[in-house]
A and B are shown apart, each in its own frame.
Chain A
Amino acid sequence: MMFKKIILATATFIIIFLVHPVSAATTITSTEPIPLGLAQRVSNTYTWALGIGGMVALGIIIFGGVLYNFINPDLTSLEEVFLDPNPRVEGPTLERLPGAGNSSLFAALPITEDCGGFYNARNALKGNFGDPRCEYASAISGDSTGGTQGRTAFVGMLRNVVRSEVERIGYCDANVDYVTTVMVDQVAGCETNWSYNSNSYNPRSTSGLGAYGLFQMNPSSANRPYDQGDVPWREQVANAIKRYDQYSPSYWACWNRLNISKLVEC
């Protein structure tokens, strides 16, 4: 079926652009110079081919422009292709040499504080990097008093910190509310399966370096600006909000699935 259509289209093209000029030439009176059919046909074909090619190219450029600028403005941000101006480069050290023995410097984020046994290999696979003050652990385990326990208590703290970081950027009130809601209810929620565990870790990250914390960001060793998740949760928030503001939120798969705008009208 498709093949027949292609043949039909080709035949139509030949009739229109190659045969037509010849038939037109036969109507020319004898007083006029006899046209050179072949040259005219070649010329016509060339002109039409150029016109159609230009038209298609223009169409593709416009279509591409529409796709790029409107449908996914965050496809690639120019700043993301810039190199980090001051990368932290670590040279070889004695501890890294074979036979140097174990060094806590290179151990994989050991559990230094398990918050009274709350954190273990199940909920803090890479150790307690995110909750050194045991705020999440206290809220979830119900150790706190005065009605400040439960997941809601931690989400309340998280939301306050997110809000103050967003306000610091200088967004208008509408966007402070909007970004706070999106980052807490969707991004941090989705990235941690709505557990809001700041020690969340996923070894199967896109970067291959593992995803850490509330916003499932890269480890500090990735040396990418504002892309550090293996830090205490308040720093995780600060990094995530700066990342949201200065780069594309499409960094987060959980943001991408929303298909919403980065900011709302003030």
Chain B
Amino acid sequence: MNKKIIIILTTVVILTILGLGIKMFLDRPSEEGKMIQEIYQAQETASLSPGGEALKAELIKFLGGKAGAIINNSDFEIGYLPAPLERLMIFVNFNNWQEKENTAISWLKSRGFSDADICGFPTVISVVTDTPESSMELPGSHVPSFCSEDI
């Protein structure tokens, strides 16, 4: 009878460990989940260098503290969202979105922003399309790749 109890307890312990292991495995956020966590974290820890602050002030001056587009063309839109959760938004159109994303980031760099400032603003990129059936194929909102390496 004692043997039986030991076997039962051992099985229960093994199953519990197995269950917790599966839980930990399945609980991992997906790629999209990690992206949104990176955005949330980037907002909570946003910080710009003094030089970046000056560039930001110059860049958004004409918006008068409101949300709006800073530059808007057929490939991408770079916009500003004020506090709380201040950030730069980049909307790129779906076709060749990676190329357009790089062009948009290059535009920000051409204005004097460093990688650290782009990440520290923070900057959030979304890929836009009007095709309804492709929503799950689109990359979710994300921070630039060089920012997620830092986080």
Q: Which residues of A are at the interface with B, using a C-beta cutoff of 8 A? A: 51, 54-55, 58-59, 62-63, 66-67, 70-71, 122-123, 142, 146-153, 155-157, 159, 163, 177-178, 180-182, 185-186, 189-195, 200, 202, 253-254, 257-260
Contact = CB atoms under 8 A, between A and B. Distances in A.
A58 B18 CA distance: 14
B18 A63 contact: yes
Given A147-B68, A156-B67, A185-B140, 7 more contacts: A58-B12, A62-B12, A142-B72, A147-B62, A189-B140, A193-B128, A194-B141
A148 B68 contact: yes
Interface string B12-54: 1001101110110011111011001101100110000000000
A155 B67 contact: yes
Given A152-B89, A193-B134, A157 B141 contact: no
B128 to A, nearest CB: 5
B136 interface: yes
Contact of B69 (A62, A152, A202): A152
A66 to B, nearest CB: 4
A152 B91 contact: yes
12 contacts: A55-B12, A122-B130, A146-B64, A147-B63, A148-B63, A149-B69, A152-B68, A180-B85, A181-B39, A193-B131, A258-B30, A259-B27
A66 B23 contact: yes
A167 B82 CA distance: 18
Interface of A is mostly: helix
Contact of A153 (B12, B16, B19, B69): B69
A176 B22 CA distance: 31
B77 interface: yes
